């Protein structure tokens, strides 16, 4: 190339640069042409950062509460660590959202947004931060996912919107550009794993605690991973065989345990002539009333595990894992064993697993299992009566453990629309308020407990039977908080349950009556198993070697219920919660609500009750 050609080329290039960089003659510098691509790139970057900030603001609902709590308690070392985790999490979030490849951004955006939406949904439903114990409880209660979705349906769409907004915020352009920057960003693609691992380590070090206030984009992922690890690796401790021998003298031929669902003790009134549960009040002479009483746990899965797995209060975590089950005790004593589940259908069990921590090994000792598929949910308990009647009609001694459908939320699913004698209900009003919840709950109790008991005594032959009736837990009827299954600082109402005994044998009834008088204001689920074992014919001396007092003797323990893990997955230290059974916990709206026949409800809620 000639020197002339090179010079001409340089001159042309120089002229082009001047035409872009320098204003023309008579043109002010601030009117010079700008790079429109660069300007819109800055705008897009600002929009993305604003969206991410908004997403964080929506889902970081308890950050300042946690900071304020740590400052108020002078825990500045913990505060420093907490803020450091938050800082690392925010850096990791930005690295995830600016990855050069869209597929990488989406691979992080979807789980981070889902984690945030799940944490928001749980907080709005329960007014509590999600913990690893909550995840374990939710997994064990997965058979109730349909009911939970219907009860909290008002929160599902906002949660879905939060997730969609999160995915958009973290995945939309701009991404990192330039070969060098893209290369460094790509190397940091796995950085978001670091806050997940650190949060998991904190929770592990604190025996399942320590996740409060942590970044919601990462904390639920860490907690879910920990819960999955514990579920898969905890193993199955070897259960002891029954070492005791039972006598067949002076014992009932048939023993029945009926465990209701979500029935609060103060909503079952045995006062003659009361307007709320008049049918069971008319049967008061047949029952020995131990209630109100305190449950073993505030969640169905844990209360039922305590009873079925014959756990002892003395060493709860060890005994619930290694004691013989109630079925093993019954079979050793010569009883045929029957389990009736009015809460789960066969299809649900196949798809979602067995109810209330029941394992295949436990089912090995059950002679007959009934799952109720052939009736609507609001008639499942009446079908349970028919099964009970058939099993009690035989001559062979039988032990029956029955889980009633009861009054689980949504409460309007638990009774036929024609039986809505209180209102307006959640379904009829289309509003979920304390007043409508109480009306719906009153209707559920009147049908599934009051009417059930009348039908049970009319249809079944109980002349050779001893029966214990209770509920798995109570209910909190406050909108915006969890109805039950709260791990930390639960409301005492969630542990408030009815507890009644029936005995055809008058001598046994007298023993129950003496025990009820001695246990007034103290009766507990933890007294049920030793009572049943004595009914089966095992000696009080043998039982006393493993258990504290039965219902036949006054307990020395204060009224307390557990919340959360009872299996020692993270720690053998239990969460014990006091319950003063002498107090009046009944809501004012529940006291003033008057029954009156109302028009049948027309609602989409009732359409979902068929099985």
Same-domain check for residues 222 and 359? no
Say which range, 343-347, 378-382, 523-527, has the weakest mean pLDDT. 343-347
What pLDDT, on the 0 to 100 scale, is given for residue 274?
93
The 10s digit of each residue's pLDDT in 470-518 is 999 999 999 888 888 888 889 999 999 999 999 999 999 999 999 999 9
Burial class (CB in 10 A: 0-12, 13-18, 19+), 323: buried
Asked whether residue 344 is assigned to any structural domain, the reply reads: yes
Same-domain check for residues 83 and 226? yes
Asked whether residue 496 is assigned to any structural domain, the reply reads: yes
> How many domains does the chain divide into?
2
The 10s digit of each residue's pLDDT in 407-421 is 988 899 999 999 999
Question: CATH number of the domain that 454 lies in?
Answer: 3.40.720.10
Q: Which of 167, 202, 232 is the last residue of a domain?
A: 232
Same-domain check for residues 280 and 401? yes
d(CA 66, CA 72): 10
d(CA 514, CA 7): 115
CB within 8 A of 314, min separation 6: which ones? 546, 547, 548
Q: How confident is the model at residue 350 (pLDDT cuts 50, 70, 90)?
A: very low
Asked whether residue 225 is assigned to any structural domain, the reply reads: yes
Same-domain check for residues 224 and 259? no
Asked whether residue 574 is assigned to any structural domain, the reply reads: no
Q: Which of 543, 560, 577 is the last residue of a domain?
A: 560
Same-domain check for residues 186 and 275? no
Asked whether residue 402 is assigned to any structural domain, the reply reads: yes
Asked whether residue 436 is assigned to any structural domain, the reply reads: no
pTM: 0.77
Query: Both ends of the chain: CA-CA distance in Å?
Result: 87
d(CA 296, CA 495): 8
What pLDDT, on the 0 to 100 scale, is given for residue 37?
55
d(CA 499, CA 455): 19
What pLDDT, on the 0 to 100 scale, is given for residue 573?
79
Asked whether residue 596 is assigned to any structural domain, the reply reads: no
Same-domain check for residues 146 and 259? no
What pLDDT, on the 0 to 100 scale, is given for residue 229?
80
Same-domain check for residues 284 and 197? no
The 10s digit of each residue's pLDDT in 259-295 is 999 999 999 999 998 999 999 999 999 999 998 999 9
Burial class (CB in 10 A: 0-12, 13-18, 19+), 604: exposed
CB 300 within 8 A of CB 356: yes
d(CA 332, CA 221): 45
Same-domain check for residues 206 and 258? no
CB within 8 A of 529, min separation 6: which ones? 306, 307, 310, 311, 312, 326, 547
What pLDDT, on the 0 to 100 scale, is given for residue 126?
66
Same-domain check for residues 496 and 380? yes
Tokens of 9: 């080329």
Closest CA to 342 of 308, 311, 307, 383: 383
What residue numbers bound the domain in which 78 lies? 37-232
Same-domain check for residues 324 and 204? no
Mean pLDDT, all residues of the chain:
86
Burial class (CB in 10 A: 0-12, 13-18, 19+), 352: middle
Same-domain check for residues 357 and 485? yes
Same-domain check for residues 177 and 303? no
Asked whether residue 239 is assigned to any structural domain, the reply reads: no
């Amino acid at each position: 190339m000639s020197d002339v050609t090179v010079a001409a080329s340089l001159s042309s290039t120089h002229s082009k640069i001047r035409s872009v960089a320098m204003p023309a003659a008579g043109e002010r510098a601030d009117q010079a042409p700008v790079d429109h691509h660069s300007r819109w790139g800055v705008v897009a970057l600002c929009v993305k950062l604003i969206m991410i900030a908004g997403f964080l603001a929506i889902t970081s609902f308890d950050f300042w509460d946690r900071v304020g709590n740590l400052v108020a308690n002078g825990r500045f070392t913990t505060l420093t660590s907490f803020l450091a985790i938050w800082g690392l999490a925010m850096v990791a979030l930005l690295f995830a959202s600016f990855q050069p490849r869209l597929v990488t951004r989406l691979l992080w955006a979807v789980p981070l947004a889902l984690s945030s939406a799940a944490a928001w949904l749980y907080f709005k439903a329960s007014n509590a931060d999600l913990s690893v114990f909550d995840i374990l409880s939710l997994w064990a209660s997965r058979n109730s996912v349909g009911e939970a979705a219907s009860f909290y349906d008002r929160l599902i769409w906002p949660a879905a919107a939060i997730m969609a907004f999160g995915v958009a915020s973290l995945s939309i352009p701009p991404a990192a550009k330039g070969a060098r920057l893209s290369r460094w960003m790509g190397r940091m693609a796995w950085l978001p794993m670091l806050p997940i691992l650190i949060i998991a380590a904190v929770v592990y070090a604190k025996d399942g605690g320590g996740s409060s206030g942590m970044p919601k984009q990462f904390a639920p992922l860490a907690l879910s991973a920990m819960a999955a690890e514990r579920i898969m690796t905890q193993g199955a401790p070897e259960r002891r065989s029954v070492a005791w021998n039972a006598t067949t003298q002076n014992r009932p031929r048939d023993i029945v345990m009926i465990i209701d669902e979500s029935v609060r003790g103060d909503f079952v009134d045995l006062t003659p002539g009361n307007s709320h549960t008049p049918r069971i009040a008319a049967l008061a002479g047949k029952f020995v009333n131990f209630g109100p009483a305190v449950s073993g746990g505030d969640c169905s899965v844990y209360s039922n595990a305590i009873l079925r797995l014959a756990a002892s209060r003395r060493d709860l975590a060890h005994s619930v894992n290694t004691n013989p089950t109630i079925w093993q005790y019954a079979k050793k004593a010569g009883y045929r064993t029957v389990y009736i589940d009015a809460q789960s259908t066969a299809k649900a069990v196949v798809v979602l697993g067995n109810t209330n921590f029941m394992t295949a090994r436990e089912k090995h000792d059950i002679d007959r299992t009934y799952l109720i598929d052939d009736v609507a949910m609001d008639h499942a308990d009446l079908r349970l009566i028919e099964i009970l009647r058939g099993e009690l009609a035989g001559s062979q001694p039988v032990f029956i453990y029955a889980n009633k459908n009861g009054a689980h939320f949504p409460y309007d699913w638990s009774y036929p629309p024609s039986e809505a004698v209180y209102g307006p209900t959640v379904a009829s009003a289309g509003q979920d308020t304390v007043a409508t919840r109480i009306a719906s709950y009153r209707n559920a109790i009147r049908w599934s407990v009051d009417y059930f008991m009348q039908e049970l005594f009319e249809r079944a032959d109980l002349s050779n039977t001893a029966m214990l009736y209770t509920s798995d837990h109570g209910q909190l009827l406050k909108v915006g908080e969890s109805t039950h299954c709260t791990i930390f600082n639960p409301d005492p109402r969630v542990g408030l349950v009815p507890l009644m005994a029936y005995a055809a044998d008058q001598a046994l009834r007298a023993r129950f009556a003496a025990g009820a008088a001695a246990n007034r204001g103290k009766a507990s689920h933890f007294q049920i198993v030793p009572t049943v074992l004595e009914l089966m014919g095992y000696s009080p001396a043998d039982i006393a070697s493993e258990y504290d007092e039965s219902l036949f003797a006054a307990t020395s323990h204060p009224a307390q219920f557990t919340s959360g893990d009872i299996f020692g997955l993270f720690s053998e230290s239990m969460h014990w919660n006091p319950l003063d059974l002498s107090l009046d916990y009944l809501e004012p709206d529940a006291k003033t609500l008057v029954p009156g026949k109302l028009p049948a409800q027309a609602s989409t809620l009732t359409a979902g009750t068929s099985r």
